[in-house]
Structure 1
Amino acid sequence: MSAVAEALEMERVESHLHPEGSFVVDEHPVPTGREEVWRFTPLKRLRGVHQDAPLDGESFKVEVDLAPGVTATSVAAADSRRGLSGLVPLDRISARAWEASSSVFEVDIPEDAVIEGASTIRVAGTGTDDATAAHLLVRAGRFSRATVVVLYSGSATWAENIEVVVEDGAELTFVTVQDWADDAVHLVSQHARVGRDATLKHVAITFGGNVVRSDTSAEYAGPGGSVEMLGLYFADAGQHIEHRLFVDHNAPKTKSNVVYKGALQGEKAHTVWIGNVLIRKVAEGIDTYEENRNLVLTDGCRADSVPNLEIETGEIAGAGHASATARFDDEHLFYLRSRGISEKEAQRLVVHGFFNDLIRRINVPELEEKLTTTVEAELAKNVLKELV
């Protein structure tokens, strides 16, 4: 058996950070909050989605704006290609969403296609009373190049599985923007499979919602694959935003780079970032780094940040992680104020500077102005009125 084949059929690594998956709902116990993977999540605010609340809601609208050459179709679950990424539900919510989804929305980029401009899917929730199960599959064919953006807005209780497949030699930028209304609950499991010498830029942007919990994982279908995960989030009073990431280096000479930045303001704003990278025995020559930075703007906020590395071989090019949570840098503020800039304007510039480098790295022109404007709107809510 080749090294790559062995990499794709590895023995299970015992770790609480990536539990055994199952499609059977009852094989996932109802979480209590005492489990390591649920200890940060406010279960009482999930509207029973983690228990047995029905997932048959239809309170939403979908609009699609596709770049030429890209196709999108809603396919009955039984006739779909779901599971193409290798996604296996790791928790009860994901398993319930898999079971309840009657259809799969499939986005397809043909082989060898170089697509100019982004293809955009707009999901607008129209109510929170009925929870909805959804399933999205995005496939980038061999040697293709494309950008796909999913925009969420409105009010919803949304349980979702997302699959991303980047075939050999392809380049895909996949972006989700959670700009929900303040009452929305969004629980999503995403899984990506990256082929030989393929490149995935995965971007998660979270501004809105009452509770947003995103569990994102990536694995490799061959050597030479590269994954970049970028995240930007801004939590307001009472908001819970949780990002859990897992990169499984299960093939040699693969790369991953994770950078997430967040800001918090307002009483009981809470963000959670859990980053985990597993380097398997077969994954020689890999290079990985993960980083999380949080900027606390007012009193009463909480940012939890936990980076993890699990290494089974020392034959690697590099591996590291970093995490930091801080308030405004007094030196930055002093420098700006000494040049005649007001205190509020100086603080605003520091926040923009904190995010701007990441926004540029996302490199989706259709989103840059929207992100900058949204950050400005978030700042206007609270931070310019009540600063630490």
Structure 2
Amino acid sequence: MSTDHSRAELAGDHTHGSTPAADKADKPRSFELADFPVPAGREEDWRFTPIKRMSDLFADTLTGPAPSIRFEGSDLTAEGLPFDVTTDECPCVGSVGAPADRTSVVAWANRGTPTCITVGESASRPLVFDIVGDSREAAAQHVTINIADGVEATIVLRHTGSVQLTQTVEIDAGADSDVTIVSTQEWDDDAVHAASHRISAGKDAVVKHIVVTLGADLVRITTDVEFAGEGADVELLGVYFTDAGQHHEHRLFVEHRLPNCVSDATYKGALQGKDAHAVWVGDVLIGHDATGTDTYELNRNLLLTEGARADSVPNLEIETGEIAGAGHASATGRFDDEQLFYLMSRGVPEDLARRLVVRGFFAELINRIGVPEVQDRLIAAIEAELDQTMALIK
């Protein structure tokens, strides 16, 4: 099944706060727990999610320990770090958007001591933070990343271990900054991770946001983008490999309210095994004043075995006709036996032929990541997943 088109739909103005939005995205925003009741599973935002498996993260109060955060094996209090860290309630906390669903408002209410990372000078190498969980008690975590005006930096958040975690990651990219943010979900098989990534892109900022989801029992990441200045360019990339019984869900909301901004979203996933389930929902809103907007969103899913399921829902709402371009595409398909036959008919063994097809499916997107360390780890992880694929089909 595939779709590839763009469309304009008239709607009312989008509003923030606790008042529900009038547009297609229909996203209420609030810092108050009472504004987001525990979902029943029938709500639009939750209809694909196995909420029983993450029910502990809906509680008003969470008492578990937040995962540790370390930089190159060092505590964030170490001297000589190439960034500033504040572990108090600094003014930047909560400055990028507001919670938009139950787990994100629970994360806010239980944030404890936030970690605020400020990069004030350009970094010549990626700044890699290891976020490691070692408790199954439901917990919350709040991380804020501030990139100063004109700064170039790549930041990697690498998640490992075992958790039940609802997490907020705020990303504030200053004017003329060039920032790449990578979040990898390499959790243990029993982990449950809900995350709200909220991005603000300043005037003429270039932001690349990359999500790589490989592990855990359940991962649900919502990414909200707002433009704080004209001329900003945001690229959203995602890769996921979903195994038997895993649920990987990625939801995007890109809100164009200012003129001459660009957004481009590309997510690709492969699924294998019984009850492997991936969900991708992309919402783009182009407001009345967002003239000159150029936006596109793409989702592709490859089903490697029977029993896997992918849901893909692209949405595009346009409130002005004075734009540079807007569109979306979505496709979910099974492994291409014709490609496999073509390769095998030319002497390529079946094992290698299958690997080549899957590698080709991911290759273009992996090359766009632009962070060698992340690309190498992802390629190795995909090879390991393909070993499991061959075991399933034999």
TM-score normalised according to structure 1 size? 0.92
Aligned match for 1:385, one of 375, 391, 394 = 391
Deviations 1:276-304 (A, max 9, x none): 10000100011000000000000001100
Residues 22-37 of structure 1 correspond to what in structure 2 (within 5 A)? 22-37=30-45
1:355 counterpart (344, 350, 362): 362
Q: Which residue of 1 aligns with 2:10?
A: none
Report the counterpart of residue 95 of structure 1 in structure 2.
105
Q: State the Cα deviation string for residues 182-228 of structure 1 (Å, max 9, x = none).
A: 00000011110001110100000000011100010101011100000
- Aligned counterpart, 2:381: 374
Distance verdict in 2 for CA 1:198–1:158, change over 3 Å: same
What's the counterpart of residue 175 of structure 1? 182
Describe the SS at the equivalent of 2:58.
Answer: coil
| Distance in 2 of aligned mates of 1:343 and 1:289 | 36
Amino acid at match of 2:51: L
- Deviation (angstroms), 1:33: 0.4
Q: Does 1:154 align with 2:154?
A: no
Please point out which of 27, 51, 65 is paired with 1:19: 27
Alignment-derived partner of residue 54 in structure 2: 46
Question: TM-score with structure 2 length normalisation?
Answer: 0.91
Matched, 1:278 2:288: no
Distance in 2 (CA, whole Å) between partners of 1:18 and 1:160 is 22
Shift of residue 256, structure 1, vs aligned partner: 0.4
Kept in 2, the 8 Å contact 1:94–1:160? The answer is yes
Question: Counterpart of 1:83?
Answer: 94
Counterpart Cα distance in 1 of 2:311 and 2:106:
27
- Native 8 Å contact 2:265 2:296 kept in 1: yes
Contact 1:244/1:274 (<8 A) preserved: yes
- Give the alignment partner of residue 312 of structure 2, picking from 305, 313, 316: 305
How far is 1:59 from its partner?
6.2
The answer to whether 1:108 aligns with 2:118 is: yes
Gap change, CA 1:133 and 1:323, over 3 Å in 2: same
Give a deviation string over 1:316-364, Cα, whole Å, max 9, x none. 0000000000112233212211221111210111111111211110010
Counterpart AA for 1:103: T
Residues 34-69 of structure 1 deviation map (CA, whole Å, 9 limit, x = unaligned): 1011000101100421234x4221163322139x87
Structure 1 regions of 5+ residues with no counterpart? Answer: 1-9
Secondary structure of 1:46's partner? helix
> Alpha-carbon deviation of 1:272?
0.2
Q: Secondary structure at the match of 1:116?
A: coil
CA RMSD of aligned residues (A): 1.7
Question: Are 2:66 and 2:141, in contact at CA under 8 Å, matched by a contact in 1?
Answer: no
* 2:83 aligned residue (56, 68, 71): 71
Question: Secondary structure in 2 aligned to 1:57?
Answer: coil
Amino acid at match of 2:195: V
CA distance in 2, matches of 1:188, 1:18: 19
- Measured in 2, the distance between the counterparts of 1:59 and 1:217 equals 23
Could you list the per-position Cα deviations for residues 134-176 of structure 1 after superposition, in whole angstroms to 9, with x for gaps in the alignment?
0011111101100000000111001111100111100000000
Q: Deviation of residue 386 (structure 1)?
A: 2.8
> Offset at 1:72?
4.4
Amino acid at match of 1:313: T
What is the DSSP-based 3-state SS (H/G/I as helix, E as strand, rest coil) of the residue aligned with 1:76?
Answer: coil
Distance, in Å, in 1 between the alignment partners of 2:91 and 2:162 is 28
How far off its partner does 1:15 sit?
3.1
Post-superposition shift, 1:70?
3.1
Contact 2:181 2:208 in 1 (8 A): yes
2:392 alignment partner, SS class: coil
5 Å matches for 1:244-263? 244-263=251-270
Secondary structure of the corresponding residue to residue 272 of structure 1: strand
Instruction: Provide the C-alpha distance between the structure 1 equivalents of 2:55 and 2:320, rounded to a whole number of angstroms.
Output: 43
Instruction: Tell whether the 8 Å contact from 2:59 to 2:106 is kept in structure 1 after alignment.
Output: no
User: Which position in structure 2 is the counterpart of 1:117?
Assistant: 125
- The yes-or-no answer on 1:332 pairing with 2:342 is no
Q: How does 1:115-264 map to 2 (within 5 A)?
A: 115-128=123-136, 130-264=137-271
2:14–2:23 CA contact under 8 A, matched in 1: no
* Contact 1:294 1:326 (8 Å CA) reproduced: yes
Q: Name the structure 2 match of 1:4.
A: none
